[in-house]
Structure 1
């Protein structure tokens, strides 16, 4: 999301939705990181603040917010269940904190990580 998002008289600055989504996804058991791990590492070296790397948010005027989130999952975790939990966590966070309806949440597993 590169510009403000407006719904029902509420405007959100760029990055607000991405932050809500990233925190919700990161808090799900089994999620190692949000965004591509190699991209996140490179971005953190050059970016002043963490942004929505690996998160895309688009407004579908007729249906609501469309979300795509890229995650890494810990080895041994059931990927379908982790993805379902990520979808639910994002839907709950966006609905509770912002009040926007969600049209779709696509979860992409970009990698597997081993626990430290």
Structure 2
């Protein structure tokens, strides 16, 4: 388990923040997944003796007693990236305020993959 994040007098495991954010972002229309869930990559990493560490889907840090978050997503083709990022930011800010009770300094959205419809 990674080191806890201390903010507003409480310590929160990064995995807890990641779970809260992931759940909210998965509800945004146009989001295929939070983090990269590529079957081929997962299979290759299972057979490697030393696999490279997988970056977390949600990264969090404290900036001036506020949370600064980075969310990695895979999106469906056909949804404008800017509008998706805005929807993700709004969902994250809302869930962090409601569940954790702290302000969000920023939400950086990284689009790490694109899913095309099957034809």
Q: TM-score range by the shorter chain?
A: 0.7 to 0.9
How much does 1:40 deviate?
A: 9.7
Measure, in 2, the Cα distance between the counterparts of 1:11 and 1:59: 11
Computed over aligned residues only, the root mean square deviation of the Cα atoms, in angstroms, reads: 2.7
* Cα deviation digits, residues 46-65 of structure 1 (max 9, x gap): 6xxxxx832111112x1511
Structure number with bigger Rg: 2
Contact 2:30 2:79 (C-alpha < 8 Å) held by counterparts: yes
Contact 1:63 1:102 (C-alpha < 8 Å) held by counterparts: no
Contact 1:18 1:55 (C-alpha < 8 Å) held by counterparts: yes
**TM-score with structure 2 length normalisation?**
0.79
Which structure 1 residue ranges, 4+ long, deviate > 4 Å from structure 2?
Answer: none
Counterpart in the other structure of 2:4: 4
* Cα deviation digits, residues 13-72 of structure 1 (max 9, x gap): 3311010111111110000011123389629x86xxxxx832111112x15111011111
Measure, in 1, the Cα distance between the counterparts of 2:108 and 2:41: 23
Q: How does 1:1-116 map to 2 (within 5 A)?
A: 2-38=2-38, 42=42, 53-60=56-63, 62-115=64-117
Q: Specify every segment of 5 or more residues in structure 2 that has no aligned partner in the other structure, as ranges.
A: 47-54
Q: Specify every segment of 5 or more residues in structure 1 that has no aligned partner in the other structure, as ranges.
A: 47-51
The 3-state SS of whatever aligns with 1:96 is helix
Measure, in 2, the Cα distance between the counterparts of 1:7 and 1:107: 22
Contact 2:76 2:116 (C-alpha < 8 Å) held by counterparts: yes
**TM-score with structure 1 length normalisation?**
0.81
